[in-house]
Every structure is written in C-alpha cells, then in structure tokens.
C-alpha cells in the first residue's frame, strides 16, 4: 500500500474513532439520565442491560479502530493476519479495521464456530 492510500485510511479511521468516542459519551449521558428516572425499576433494569450491551459493542469497535491505527504506525496495516497477503482495498474501505481478507476471516469464523480456534492460532505462534 502506498503512503497516500495509508494516509486516507488513517484519516478515515481517525474520523471513525472520533465518532465512536462521541457515541460512547452520548450513550453514557443517556444512561445517566435514565438512571435518574427511577419510575419503573424493571424497565430501568432492562434498559440498563441494553445500554451495557450497546456500550460493549461500541467499546469493542473503538478497540478495533485503535488497533488498526496502531497497525498503520507499525507499517502492518492492510496485511492479512492469516495469509499475509494485502487485504483488498474494497474490503478495507468497507471495514477499515479488518485484520484478515474475506477468505481468512471466513475460515476463522468457521473454525471458531467449530471450536477449533486454538488449533488455528497454534501455527502462527510458532
């Protein structure tokens, strides 16, 4: 990947990181407001679970974005973790924090579903 492309993905990821942070902050605000309104305990508890699940998802996305930004500074960005081939630009544009090409991701998803994740990672650790 050339420097210009890398810069484009970097600013894309930085924008996404900003959005994710804003999103987290906004959700936390909503959470606090709802907490103050204790009219319906049960509803609040259900809502709290939803908010927590939502926050976890947003946090996870933020971590993926930050990991991608780290890979940019390490020079490892855009390379598939599985086959070490470049990840196609189309995939990176749709999913700028992707660490694997579609084929390797599908393979990993299938293996994870089959509970063979450890076997998949073993050869990489060697």
List residues near Zn ion by CB under 5 A.
80, 82-83, 101, 104
* Comparison of 82 and 111: residue with beta carbon closer to Zn ion: 82
Four-CA torsion 29, 33, 38, 41, nearest 10 degrees? -30
Query: 58 vs 108, which CB is nearer to Zn ion?
Result: 108
Q: Which is nearer to Zn ion, 3 or 90 (CB)?
A: 90
* Per-residue 3-state assignment (H helix, E strand, C coil) for 9-65: HHHHHHHHHHHHHHHHHHHHHHHHHHHHCCCCHHHHHHHHHHHHHHHHHHHHHHHHH
CB of 83 to Zn ion, least distance (A): 3
Indicate the residue among 19 and 82 with the shorter CB distance to Zn ion: 82
User: Could you tell me the two tokens for 104?
Assistant: 């390797």
Question: What minimum distance in Å lies between the beta carbon of 91 and Zn ion?
Answer: 10
Minimum CB distance to Zn ion, residue 101 (Å): 4
For residues 57 and 64, is the Cβ–Cβ distance under 8 A? no
* Nearest distance, CB of residue 1 and Zn ion, angstroms: 15
75: left (phi over 0), alpha (psi -120 to 50) or beta: left
């Amino acid at each position: 990947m050339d420097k210009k492309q890398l810069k484009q993905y970097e600013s894309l990821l930085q924008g996404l990181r900003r959005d994710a942070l804003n999103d987290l902050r906004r959700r936390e605000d909503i959470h606090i407001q709802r907490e103050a309104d204790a009219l319906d305990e049960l509803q609040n508890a259900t809502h709290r679970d939803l908010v927590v699940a939502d926050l976890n998802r947003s946090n996870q996305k933020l971590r993926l974005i930050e990991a991608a930004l780290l890979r940019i500074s390490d020079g490892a960005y855009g390379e598939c973790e599985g086959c070490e081939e470049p990840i196609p630009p189309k995939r990176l544009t749709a999913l700028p924090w992707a660490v694997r090409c579609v084929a390797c991701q599908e393979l990993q998803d299938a293996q994870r579903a089959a509970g063979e994740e450890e076997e998949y990672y073993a050869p990489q650790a060697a």
